[in-house]
Amino acid sequence: MSEVPKQSDKVGYNRWSWRLHKEKFKSKFHSLENMERVYVYLLDAKGEHVCFWKGKTSDFAKKNPEYQWISLKADRSIGKVKEDYEAGQI
């Protein structure tokens, strides 16, 4: 991933246009139905949680999913982002 955003002409807005490759995930759970939630965290340069998304495992069960934007929420226990609307999208 590039450390420099592709676009940053607006205050509070950066765009990297970076996608993860598909990877297999190993778990102690034998099926998705046994898992309750999935958490996705946005980390800062120090590795601290800044924002997050909490979803259902069923959101990841489609064999050919469409791309979608996921709105993050501010992690208020860390306090680096104060409002959810500032948390960003992935």
Please spell the DSSP secondary structure of 17-49, one letter per residue. Answer: ---PPP-----S-SSGGG--EEEEEEE-TTS-E
Report field, pTM of the whole predicted structure over 0.95: no
**Which amino acid makes up residue 75?**
D
pLDDT of residue 5: 47
Q: State yes or no: pLDDT of 61 exceeds 60.
A: yes
Q: State yes or no: pLDDT of 11 exceeds 80.
A: no
User: Taking all residues of the chain, what is their mean pLDDT, rounded to a whole number?
Assistant: 78
